[in-house]
Every structure is written in structure tokens, then in C-alpha cells.
Chain A
């Protein structure tokens, strides 16, 4: 019996190996194949636009204030009807997120009064130096929708008179 014991053990182990050869593989072939993320996944930030192409961000910097990692830097400027970026008085002329500092907690989303900043699905962030980790506004803002025009837009006077656009209760 003492002689057989190691052999039985070996066979047992190899049996596991043999059995798993016929199982469905769990490995995803990333990056060729990508798994969808969950609906509330918190990936890389996106700055949203309205359907007409105007930016939702009003440059209030509340995201920066809420950020526990001090990853966000905002500077704002004033909109005019000649050069309009967002519906209100104010837009973010500089908007930067340091992706190395960000802890993807989503407080910025919570703080945003216009639902402009949203943590998206993108988790593929890699940099070869620290400077690259700072994403400027051009990298964060989503593309102009098909029906929309790029910003800055020229708008007719008297159309955008509210400093913060009227908001409905959040959907999700």
C-alpha cells in the first residue's frame, strides 16, 4: 500500500488536468476580446454634451472641491453669445484630471450640478510618464453629437439667460 500511495496521488492530480482540458475556458482574450462592464462601473471620466453640442460643464469646480484626491483642476471663463461653450454664464476654460491621483470614487459625479462629468466605461489607462496622466479637457470631453455643432458656438442673444440650466431629478 505504501508503494501505491504516491501513484494514486499522481493519477488523481492528472485526472484534474485531463478533466479541465474539456471544460469551457474562463480566460478572456484581452485585448482582442473585451468584457462588458457593469452599468454603474466607474471608469475614466467623460465630460458630456447636450444634443445641440453645447457642453454640460459650467465650470463651477464643485467636482474639484469634492475630489478627495485633489485630482481635478478647473478654471472658468465667461460665455458670450459670440463664443458660447455651455448654456450658462460660465464654462470651464481649463479642465484637467490627473488620472494617477484619481481614485475613481465618483464624488465628482455626485457633486456635479449639471451631470456634466460622468465616470465612463473606459478602464484602459496607461501612461509612459506622469505628464501624460493629466488629461486635459480635449481628451475628456465626448465627441459632438450628430445633430450638434462643435463649441464654441455662435448663439442668438437672449436664448441662454439662465446661469445654471434647469435640471430635472437624476434618472439613475
Chain B
């Protein structure tokens, strides 16, 4: 390792690793150098010239090679011109002046130049209020322009760059953050510069235009209002919205989100979600989220949500009170006793699943996981654990992606795997994935032979010699049995490595919280129809097996209790339907595929009379005399921590702990990391880590 470098910035001495850029070194000691094109997650470009500073270096005597001393101090020689602090790495003894008259004047003039062609339509711009150009102009810029207003450069406005993103060519300051993001971070180089000088434009060269699942992130890092989303267009002003921390429930990655909410006249004055923004968690999603996470929350705000319990009366579902519905469900469960089946899915939170399992155990009922993928018994024993972070994977690591199209199924993992491979990790893909261009080895097994192909890698040098081995497996083209076999084969490759940081198995589950279901003891069954037909009472939570054709519509038997958000195909056939809250309306926690438990918080008010899943289960359990914690999600998790070994040591307090993350984003300095939210609500805790057990 090269020695750390000590330099002086604005009179403050700072020691940073070799190779650090001046702009980052300054940030570390709280000095903000204005930037537009620079972004800590991407290679510096030096395009906007906003970060000009005065740099002095110790004068070296050519004869001796030693610094020239003056009054006992090394003599510092300043260059004749200013330098860009975003492209200049630090060097020993460097003296940087970021706020000298010369630097100040340059920063001010660059802003004046940038504004010569800026339309200044801040009042209608979606970025207005959280715009780096606005902020920096107020802090560093001139109060008046010396340029003629009438000579302003006019260009096309509101160009649909893709079906999700709008481009305003007038507002663009050609910093190239979006172009570089697509090229360097996303690996979808679909944006480019076109023409030059004042006519430089951002164009998309893909068909369909701007075809990338990460496109929404460009609107976050755009330092002006040039890139905005169609979804949020004119939705609200940033300062009018409240922020609520959440976890994305669409895939097993568990990206940290912030929901922005506001009262809306269209919704009758109710508080609604206006947009989803990424929340920084460098160990999960860094500062990015995929477009599904950013735009697909709309599915949760449908009008046909259930708002009251329903009970079947004369072959028809009719509204009933909670007491009546719970009484009926409880009575029938008590009658059925052993002939009960509990069916749950990965939509439910940890607390919901735990309570359901407690109820199922109390009734001696079978707890079935409704899924299309198997192998969870291996992810619970061989899954990645504490200390694992994709960002640490590099040379010496081998990553296997088996039967999973990460780009579709878990886009942020695609991003993280791609980055690890670019840092030097070896990548082996088994079956079709979009990662071929980064793969060191590709295995394309015949149908039904995926597990065999993975097992065949056991003697491979890439696996035997790897210091770290991470395996992501999915169920692309596999039935539950085959994916279970695949998991077992993957676990075979991992034997001896389980429990070590940066080693282990990751399930690319079809639903967000399936890992927790496995950890808590839910298991899929081979033939659900037989189990269903034999049971006297079936209690289904968060699954729609009749609606999606897995089960035949039921005849008379069994008595069906359904806990759902909507009147699904299964709910329509149910005898008791219990309305539950969406994850945006309540608190709870999810376990990601990486076995990280993370908390989500309520963002919007509760819909109708619905209750949280864990509370509904507790009500039914109380009827049956079974002790289940239903007072709050936090207490339910604490109970789980006491009962389930994997969850040992977890509590809501621990899940809410945060540590300082790099790069620093959010806060008052929007220009640095973009409109990503700072994480002050919790980074989550890995399951089953030694650290947990100690606590």
C-alpha cells in the first residue's frame, strides 16, 4: 500500500489515502468545493470547470531532489493558473486554496457562463428547490449577469428521451453525468453527446430510446432540471413533500427507499405517495434504485383495495365487522384443529411471517410457503452473512450467477455483480443472463441440467482457488424441484466457506421476503392441490394461488380464510376475507436475499379499516388462546429474536442504527450526490451473524 498523503486545504491539514482527489479530500474535512460534472461514484471528467481552485506544491530543488526550505517550512509554489480539483489527485505537502479571491472569482464566472444559456424557468422546473445549479448560484454565483438576456441560447424543451425520462435541452449544462452514469455505472451506454460547443445535445442511441432499467437514476444525479421523470412531472414542489423511509418490496435486493408524500386534492385531500427516491445504503443499493422500484409503487395505490372485512353469507361475500370476521375465522380454526393449512408468501414482512408461524405451530398446522422456487434450506445454512458487501468483492473473488437474469429479477444485484467483475472479480454465468459480457466463463447447460452444470464446476480453478465465493442462484426456466437441486449443488461448491464474510449463497427469489419465510420455517410443498383438498381450513396470507391458476377454484371444502390487500381470485372464493395494510401504511421489516434485515416505516395513512398482517394473525390467535404478539411490529420482531435462532439479537433499535457513509449525500449539499436521500433511519443488520448472537 502506498503511504497516506497529508495536505493542507484552506489552512486545515488533512491526511487521505494516496490517489484521493482534492475535491473528496476537502469534503472529508467539511469543505465544499462546488462541482457539477464530478460525481464520487464515477470517473472524473473535468468538464464543467466549476471546481477550479488554487493549488500550490512544495518547490523541489532540482539538484538535491529535496524540498526548498524557507523559514523552516517547505516553500510552496503556486501554479500560474487555477486547476480543477475534481481531476487532480492529492500529493504530499500540497496547499489548496478553495476560497481565495482568484478561486472565488473563477467559480463565480463559471456560474455566470453556465447561466448564459440557462432558461431560468425555475418556477416550473421539477428540480427547482433541490437543484445544485440553484444552490451553487446562490452560494457562489453572481447576483446579476453581464450577458444580454435576448442573446440567450434557445433549444428544444420537453424532449421525451425515453418513455420514462424527459430531457430539457435548454436546461442542460453538458456535464455528462448521465452519459457517464449509463456508460460506467449502469453498463448500458445508451446516452451520448451529439454535436459540439453550444449546440451540444444529449441524445439516446438505443431503440427503444433510453432503454435502461437504471434510467431513473440519471434524474437524481442530473445537477440541473434537464432530466426529469415523466411519472413525477409537475407532481409537487420538493419542499412541499414529506419523506418516509421504506424498503422496496418488489425484489429480494431490498433497496432502501424514501417515499415522498403529499396531500392531494384528487385523492380527496388524503396523503398520497408522489415519488420514490433512493436512500443511501452503501451495502445494499449504494445510492441507486432501478426503474421498477422508482415507478412501480403505483400498483399499491389501486382504488379497489379492500377496506372492510368480508364474510361469506348466502354464497356471497358481505361486509362484516372485525369482531364478527375474527370470531368466525377463530371458531372454524378451533373446530378444524389439526386439519389446518397456513399458506404464506414473501409479500409478508418478517413480523407477519413469524406470527403466522406461531399460529400454525399452535394449531399444529402445516406452514407452507407459496413460491415457484426452492432451495431455501440451503440459503439459510449457506447464505451470505455479516460482513458481506458486494462493494468489497474484487480480485480473488469468484461470483457465480446461476439460472438468474439479474437485470430483470434483481437489477441492483446486476449492477453490483457487474461492478465487482470490473474491479477484478471472476464471474461465471450458468444459463442465460445479461451478464455475459462481464463473464470470465459461461456455461450454457441443457434443459434440466443446470444443477449438474454447477456441480461440474467443483474442480474448476476459478472456484477452488477463489479466496471468496459468492453464488447467486435463481429459478429461470426451472421448476421448484430443479431450483432446489440447483441450490443444493451451489451449497456443495460452498462447503467449508459458510459463515465466512463475502462467501455464501444468495437466492434470487421471486418475492421480496422469501428468505425470511425460509428462515422462519415455512416450506413449499410439491403438490399444493392435494394438501388444499385434504384440509378442513386453509388460511392464506399474501398469496393468490386460485387467481394465478396454481389451485383449482374450490368447491365446498375447505373453509378459506384470506388475508389480502385486494379482492384477488383467491379472496373471491374465500369464506372470510381480512383486509390488510400495504407496506407503505405500516411499519415492519424485510429480510433481503443477502439476509439483511431492514426496517420500513409508514408513509401514508391506513386504508379503510385494514390492519397489519401481524396484528390480524394475533387477533385470530387470541381467539384460539395462542400467545402471539400483535401490539406492535417492533415487539413481534423482538419475540422472533427470542424464539428463532437466526433472528437472535435483532431489535428495531439495532435495525435503525446508522454509521457515516461515503460519499456523503443529501443534507444541505444536494450537488454532490444528487437527490438521493441520506440514510438516517437504519442500515439494517445481517441475519445470524455472530454479532447478533452476542447482543
Q: In the assembled complex, which residues on chain B have CB atoms less than 8 Å from the CB atom of A73?
A: 263, 265
CB distance from A169 to the nearest CB of B (A): 12
Are A77 and B234 also in contact (CB < 8 A) when A60-B123, A62-B123 are? yes
Tell me, in angstroms, the Cα distance from A102 to B237 when the chains sit together.
Answer: 21
Q: Which of B121, B239, B266 contacts A163 (CB 8 A)?
A: B121
Are the CB atoms of A163 and B264 closer together than 8 Å?
Answer: no
Number of A-B residue pairs, CB cutoff 8 Å, is 54
Chain A proximity mask over B217-248: 1 for CB below 8 Å, otherwise 0: 00000000000000001101101100000000
Instruction: For A95, give the chain B residue with the smallest CB separation.
Output: B265
Q: Which of B234, B239, B264 contacts A65 (CB 8 A)?
A: B239
Chain B proximity mask over A62-79: 1 for CB below 8 Å, otherwise 0: 101100000001011110
Tell me, in angstroms, the Cα distance from A33 to B266 when the chains sit together.
Answer: 42
Are the CB atoms of B121 and A164 closer together than 8 Å?
Answer: yes
Q: Which of A17-25, A35-43, A44-52, A86-94 contacts B (4 or more CB under 8 A)?
A: A86-94
Are the CB atoms of B233 and A78 closer together than 8 Å?
Answer: yes
Which of A58, A75, A163 has most chain B Cβ within 10 Å? A163
Q: In the assembled complex, which residues on chain B have CB atoms less than 8 Å from the CB atom of A62?
A: 123
Q: In the assembled complex, which residues on chain B have CB atoms less than 8 Å from the CB atom of A96?
A: 265
Chain A proximity mask over B104-129: 1 for CB below 8 Å, otherwise 0: 00000000000000011101110010
Q: In the assembled complex, which residues on chain A have CB atoms less than 8 Å from the CB atom of B119?
A: 162-164
Q: In the assembled complex, which residues on chain A have CB atoms less than 8 Å from the CB atom of B264?
A: 75
Are the CB atoms of A65 and B237 closer together than 8 Å?
Answer: yes
Are the CB atoms of A61 and B240 closer together than 8 Å?
Answer: yes
A152 contacts chain B at the CB level, 8 A cutoff: no
Q: In the assembled complex, which residues on chain A have CB atoms less than 8 Å from the CB atom of B121?
A: 88, 162-164
B158 contacts chain A at the CB level, 8 A cutoff: yes
Are the CB atoms of A59 and B124 closer together than 8 Å?
Answer: yes
Instruction: For B119, give the chain A residue with the smallest CB separation.
Output: A163
Q: Which of A64, A78, A114, A164 contacts B234 (CB 8 A)?
A: A78
B423 contacts chain A at the CB level, 8 A cutoff: no
A113 contacts chain B at the CB level, 8 A cutoff: yes
CB distance from B267 to the nearest CB of A (A): 11
B693 contacts chain A at the CB level, 8 A cutoff: no
Are A113 and B157 also in contact (CB < 8 A) when A61-B237, A78-B234, A90-B234 are? no
Are the CB atoms of B240 and A64 closer together than 8 Å?
Answer: yes
Q: In the assembled complex, which residues on chain B have CB atoms less than 8 Å from the CB atom of A76?
A: 124, 234
Which of B121, B128, B233, B264 has most chain A Cβ within 10 Å? B121
Q: In the assembled complex, which residues on chain B have CB atoms less than 8 Å from the CB atom of A126?
A: none
CB distance from B273 to the nearest CB of A (A): 15
Which of B120, B123, B124, B128 has most chain A Cβ within 10 Å? B124
Tell me, in angstroms, the Cα distance from A62 to B129 when the chains sit together.
Answer: 10
Instruction: For B225, give the chain A residue with the smallest CB separation.
Output: A163
Are the CB atoms of A89 and B157 closer together than 8 Å?
Answer: yes
Question: In residues 118-172 of chain A, which contact B (Cβ within 8 Å)?
Answer: 161-164
Q: In the assembled complex, which residues on chain B have CB atoms less than 8 Å from the CB atom of A75?
A: 236, 264-266
Tell me, in angstroms, the Cα distance from A34 to B211 when the chains sit together.
Answer: 66
Question: In residues 109-163 of chain B, which contact A (Cβ within 8 Å)?
Answer: 119-121, 123-125, 128, 157-158
Chain B proximity mask over A3-19: 1 for CB below 8 Å, otherwise 0: 00000000000000000
CB distance from B202 to the nearest CB of A (A): 18
Q: In the assembled complex, which residues on chain A have CB atoms less than 8 Å from the CB atom of B128?
A: 60
Are A164 and B233 also in contact (CB < 8 A) when A73-B265, A89-B158 are? no
Are the CB atoms of B123 and A164 closer together than 8 Å?
Answer: yes
Tell me, in angstroms, the Cα distance from A114 to B123 when the chains sit together.
Answer: 10
Q: In the assembled complex, which residues on chain B have CB atoms less than 8 Å from the CB atom of A94?
A: 265-266
CB distance from A113 to the nearest CB of B (A): 5
Q: Which of A58, A77, A161 contacts B123 (CB 8 A)?
A: A58
Instruction: For B170, give the chain A residue with the smallest CB separation.
Output: A163
CB distance from A1 to the nearest CB of B (A): 77
Instruction: For A77, give the chain B residue with the smallest CB separation.
Output: B234
Instruction: For A64, give the chain B residue with the smallest CB separation.
Output: B240
Tell me, in angstroms, the Cα distance from A90 to B125 when the chains sit together.
Answer: 9
Chain A proximity mask over B521-564: 1 for CB below 8 Å, otherwise 0: 00000000000000000000000000000000000000000000
Are A59 and B239 also in contact (CB < 8 A) when A75-B264, A164-B124 are? no
CB distance from A44 to the nearest CB of B (A): 21
Are the CB atoms of A163 and B124 closer together than 8 Å?
Answer: yes
Tell me, in angstroms, the Cα distance from A164 to B158 when the chains sit together.
Answer: 13
Are the CB atoms of B124 and A58 closer together than 8 Å?
Answer: yes
Which of B120, B263, B265 has most chain A Cβ within 10 Å? B265
Are A88 and B240 also in contact (CB < 8 A) when A75-B264, A78-B233, A163-B119 are? no
CB distance from A108 to the nearest CB of B (A): 13
Are the CB atoms of B123 and A113 closer together than 8 Å?
Answer: yes
Please list 9 pairs of residues, one from A and one from B, whose beta carbons are closer than 8 Å in the complex, sorted by A's number.
A59-B234, A65-B237, A89-B157, A90-B234, A94-B265, A113-B123, A162-B119, A163-B157, A164-B124
**Interface of B toward A, CB cutoff 8 Å:** 119-121, 123-125, 128, 157-158, 233-234, 236-237, 239-240, 263-266
Nearest 3 Cβ contacts at the A-B interface: A60-B123, A163-B121, A94-B265
**Interface of A toward B, CB cutoff 8 Å:** 58-62, 64-65, 73, 75-78, 88-90, 94, 96, 113-114, 161-164
Given A58-B123, A65-B237, A94-B266; 4 other pairs, CB 8 A cutoff: A61-B240, A89-B124, A89-B234, A163-B125
